[in-house]
Structure 1
Amino acid sequence: MKNRILSALFALPLLLSLPAMAIELDEAKQKGYVGEQTDGYLGIVKSAPEVPELVKDVNAKRKAKYQELAQKNGISLAQVEALAGKKAVEKTSAGHYILLDGQWVKK
């Protein structure tokens, strides 16, 4: 079980980058429109016209990958989401937002 969780943990950085949306995602993070949440998903910090669609797309892709990882490793979706959230918060650049205890804070 521990090896499966570790395997999933090492695969998470790949999931968080999402190359197809990288430029738009990076720009949205830079401008403070979106931030990482501890549940492994992206959240809206402040809205702009294109932000809800970006968040919806990124989160749908993440969830599909999380489900795939959970099934492949015999662990729950919640476990993968928690691992992804932890990794996302750790990887968040200084000056970008993370959601902690219900509040958006700059890292």
Structure 2
Amino acid sequence: MKTSLIPTFFAATSLLFASMSFAIDLDSAKDKGLVGEQTDGYLGAVVNQPDVLALINEVNVKRKNKYNQLAAKNNLTLEQVEKLAAKKAYEKTASGHYVLVNGNWVKK
């Protein structure tokens, strides 16, 4: 009976540590040069890693929901809000963080 629990223990432990190692926050990702602002108002991957892609997806879902709310509230299209948000994000991007310029990631 003890031997049947060992593989389960190792599997559960591996999953726990895997999820912990993939956890990253937006500020850290920007500081480390893993993500950057795109011209469409959304976050993009400078470095293609599973934890980075998960973060980008999470942030972009929240952004799109907010953009849709703003569009409805201000009688604008989603595309108009995305363009305005991209412009604002580029302006607010800190020095040393990445922005997408002509299809290339560039440090601001």
Give the TM-score normalised by the residue count of structure 1: 0.77
Q: CA RMSD in A?
A: 1.0
| Residues 1:94 and 2:87 are matched in the alignment | no
How many residues are treated as equivalent by the alignment?
85
Question: Cα offset for 1:97?
Answer: 0.2
- Per-residue CA deviation, residues 60-86 of structure 1 (Å, 9 max, x unaligned), is 000000001000110100000000000
Structure 1 or 2, whichever has the larger Rg, is 2
Report the identity percentage: 62
| Residues 1:103 and 2:89 are matched in the alignment | no
- Per-residue CA deviation, residues 31-66 of structure 1 (Å, 9 max, x unaligned), is 000000121100000123310100000000000000
Mark the runs of 5 or more structure 1 residues left unpaired by the alignment. 1-22
Contact persistence 1:38–1:88 (CA under 8 A): no
Moved more, 89-98 or 42-51: 42-51
| Aligned mates of 2:45, 2:36 — CA distance in 1 | 6
Spell out structure 1 runs of 4+ moving beyond 3 A.
none
Give the TM-score normalised by the residue count of structure 2: 0.76
| Residues 1:50 and 2:72 are matched in the alignment | no
Q: Which has the higher contact order (CA 8 A, sep 6+)?
A: 1
